[in-house]
Amino acid sequence: MRVLRSLLCSSAPLLGVFRVRFWDPRVSKRKAWLSLSVQRWCTSEASGLSSDHLSSGSDKYQQLKKHFVRRLKATYHRFHSIPDYSVVCGCHHVYFIKADGIYRIDKRDCTPEPEQVLNLEHASRAERRTRAESEGRVQWTIQRIRLSPHEKHLAATLKCCHTEELKCVVVRLGERNTSILPPHYILLELQSVFSFEWATDDVLFYTTLEGLSSSSVFRLDLASEGSGKVTSVYEETQPDVFVEVALSRDRQILTINCNSRTSSEVMLIDVTKSRLEPFVIRPRQLDLLYHVEHWKGSLLILANTGPGQEYQVMQSPTSEPSTASWASLFVPKPDSAIKDMDVVGDYCLLVLKTPANELALSVMSLRNPKETYIIELPSWACSIETKKPGLADRQDVLEFLLSSPVHPPVPFSLDPEKGLLLSDPGTQTHSESHDKYVTTRLKACSQDGTLVPVTLLHAVPVEDLSQAPLLVHVYGAYGRDLSMEFCPVRRFLLEQGWALAYCHIRGGGERGLSWHRQTRVEGKRRGVEDLQACLQKLFSSGVSSASLTALTACSAGAVPVAALCNWKPNMMRAVTLQAPFLDVLGTMEKADLPLTVEDRDEWGDAVGNPNHRHIIASYCPLHNITPQRYPSMLLTAYSGDPRIPLEGVLKYAKYIKKAIHTHLNRKQNADCESAPSIVLNVQPGANHLGPEDFVQMLEEEAFRLAFLYTELNLDPPQPRRKRKR
């Protein structure tokens, strides 16, 4: 399901291009693939941590970090074989990713042996010849794979491990027993490719990423003479519009999706026809968001034309896609929100968030839309990942993974015609966790009376959590849901007696589009009020206490967290912020920065609108620091991060240290009050997401845990005792 992902596609501070789904400590890199809604990771402290903070130096965490490296390595090893959808099924072969490249096996062989299709060593030779030796070896990780309709060609995007540089490699596929030596070879490389889809065996459409902007669509024609002809298909002129290409599930249409935060324009290409010319479905209109799927000569359109400008499902003939022909098929019930849409056989499948903040599937017959039924999903499920069907996969069955931050992914398949939902019996290894760990959903009443959902994950009854350490997760921006996928580190914390809370504050997308609209520009303070209400709800419910509570956030999620630290610093003991957006006012004043113009719809125009400037200044974390006792903070930033200016993070660390010093010097009993630790961890490189290297990622997570355990005064967890034989 890629519908709402394209609508949310943007180079905003949240956006990244990876989602970790498979870990193997025996391999130096994490297996990953391209995704538009991702959890961001930060680098390790390999380059050294600043010792310039108010308490002791960062070396006080190092011994404990070594302990957590060992514990986390064992935890990742336990989950190294969780299911994922990185395998691609072709007509005759199955393709999969290993550390050194792409391999495939022949489904027709009784005893298939893997053969290598793409060697990463070969793909990086050109870079090693053109780059200075001082830069070191260039390493690439494989992002996403696409097969041409009859498996004639393979295209794969690669990402440089130390930057956000992208490229696409096009491989000519052959048979092992042919005279071609070698049977598979690289035809060409395309630089800066972001999204790409095959229209035919010889025609590839793709978009390029320049900086943080994607505005150009190109067509590669391999049937032409030479190494392939590249022509320009479309060029977007609006600076706040992000462009990508996508293929419908039935592979009948290719769409060019041009989305900003407030409007959409979709162009359609019928790949079944010889003339692959795009035409516009509905011209751009302010505040109209829509996306398109295809079903038997008609378009299914997910558009925010429902009550309250929420999403509903519309239908239109492909031959006449104008707005006048849009007919409503499905409107969700009040307080339910459509999160995604897919077309499976003759059915439209919708992922819903229910009023109880749980996931559900709505199944609607496209032959008779009145035949609609709801499938309730397991109560522990917090995240759903659907499989993009391969060339040989069944088109009338939906395969998907359900998971939560502490529940490993479980494969499910749905036959919508039979109404049959099945789980994979081969995943019983980790099934005990789905009963052992509890998911409790709470609602906190914010200052204006709005009920804010809170997801609480715990291993003991709520009434026994009063002395448990609590880690609170926050985001609340750009209409994006808080990431709730499985994470071995979160599972480890739960096993050590922690409680984990996920606060779905306004600004995210958990409760629909209006949930985001309420905190755009003038309403940003509501997100901070929501976070405060969530903490109060947790404490009043008997969950932990302020002295045992830590908050964690990344990128734009740092705004409500750091703002609350200014308002109510006594509500938490420690904070960890990764690639944090802390100087909202200073950033929005600089129109030359990559995201300032695009982000005005989210934060406001600090230069051209005095009222917006006043509002931003009222909550901006950097500009509201005051002398008082703050919680301990771990700030991880990246020197070349194009999304988060390093200058703002450095200023924030400097100002907050100065404010704490001023506070302590004013107090008569300053000698009796210990100073909080403000640890600034600045890493080299431009990778907003952190390293792909498994060891470095492990060290970063271990250091974060060492910081939390130290600042919350927790005893280190004891290693598991080996069972006696």
Strand partners, 679: 634
| pLDDT 10s digits, 371-427 | 999 999 999 999 999 998 888 778 889 999 999 999 999 999 999 998 888 887 555
Q: By the 8 A CB rule, do 694 and 30 touch? A: yes
CA distances from residue 295 to 76, 291, 315, 390 in whole angstroms, order as listed: 42, 14, 10, 18
Strands (E), 6-120: 19-22, 31-33, 88-89, 93-98, 101-106, 115-119
Helix (H, G, I), strand (E, B) or coil at 69: helix
Q: Residue 503 above 90 pLDDT?
A: yes
CA 663 centroid distance within chain: 39
Q: In angstroms, rounded to a whole number, what is the distance separating the alpha carbons of residues 143 and 17?
A: 8
Catalytic residues: 555, 641, 688
Two tokens, residue 94: 């199955």
| pLDDT 10s digits, 456-479 | 999 999 999 999 999 999 999 999
- Identify the weakest region by mean pLDDT among 171-180, 226-235, 276-285, 616-625: 171-180
Give the pLDDT confidence score for residue 112 in this predicted structure. Answer: 79
Q: By the 8 A CB rule, do 177 and 157 touch? A: no
Residue 97's identity, in one-letter code, is: I
| pLDDT 10s digits, 3-23 | 554 444 443 333 322 223 334
CA distances from residue 587 to 401, 427, 475, 616, 671 in whole angstroms, order as listed: 38, 47, 19, 11, 38
Mean pLDDT of the region 611-616 = 97
Q: In angstroms, rounded to a whole number, what is the distance separating the alpha carbons of residues 702 and 700?
A: 5
Two tokens, residue 383: 């995240």
**How are beta strands 31-33 and 88-89 bridged, if at all?**
unpaired
- Identify the weakest region by mean pLDDT among 122-136, 356-370, 567-581: 122-136
| pLDDT 10s digits, 573-599 | 999 999 999 999 999 999 888 889 889
Two tokens, residue 524: 């940003």
Strand partners, 88: 95
Two tokens, residue 680: 């600034």
Q: In angstroms, rounded to a whole number, what is the distance separating the alpha carbons of residues 273 and 129?
A: 42
Kindly give, in sequence order, each residue whose CB lies less than 8 Å from that of residue 633, ignoring residues fewer than 6 positions away.
Answer: 565, 574, 575, 576, 577, 656, 676, 677, 678, 679
**Helices and strands in the chain, H and E counts:** 14, 38
| pLDDT 10s digits, 236-283 | 999 999 999 999 999 999 999 999 999 999 999 999 988 899 999 999
Q: Report angle CA 536, 522, 629 to the nearest 5 degrees.
A: 45
Helix (H) or strand (E) holding 344: strand 337-344
Among left, alpha and beta (phi > 0; psi -120 to 50; other), residue 707 is alpha
Confidence label for 41 from pLDDT (cuts 50, 70 and 90): very low
CA distances from residue 150 to 105, 115, 199, 393 in whole angstroms, order as listed: 16, 19, 11, 14
- Report H helices in 156-309: none
Q: Residue 720 above 70 pLDDT?
A: no
Q: In angstroms, rounded to a whole number, what is the distance separating the alpha carbons of residues 195 and 214?
A: 9
Q: In angstroms, rounded to a whole number, what is the distance separating the alpha carbons of residues 717 and 469?
A: 13
Rounded to two decimals, the pTM is 0.90
Residue where the block lists tokens 């404490």 = 539
CA 8 centroid distance within chain: 11
CA 322 centroid distance within chain: 33
Give the pLDDT confidence score for residue 640 in this predicted structure. Answer: 84
Mean pLDDT of the chain: 86
CA distances from residue 682 to 611, 636, 649 in whole angstroms, order as listed: 34, 6, 9
Q: Residue 455 above 90 pLDDT?
A: yes
Q: Could you tell me which of 154, 97, 161, 87 has the C-alpha nearest to residue 124?
A: 161
Helix (H, G, I), strand (E, B) or coil at 401: strand
| pLDDT 10s digits, 647-692 | 999 999 999 999 999 999 886 655 667 899 999 998 777 767 666 6
Output helix, strand, coil percentages for the chain, rounded to the nearest 5.
25, 30, 45
Mean pLDDT of the region 431-457 = 91
Please report the domains of the chain, with CATH numbers, ordered by start residue. Answer: 436-542 (3.40.50.1820), 545-580+620-716 (3.40.50.1820)
Confidence label for 226 from pLDDT (cuts 50, 70 and 90): low
Confidence label for 109 from pLDDT (cuts 50, 70 and 90): confident
- Identify the weakest region by mean pLDDT among 167-181, 289-303, 332-346: 167-181
Strands (E), 211-297: 213-221, 229-235, 242-247, 253-259, 264-270, 279-282, 290-295
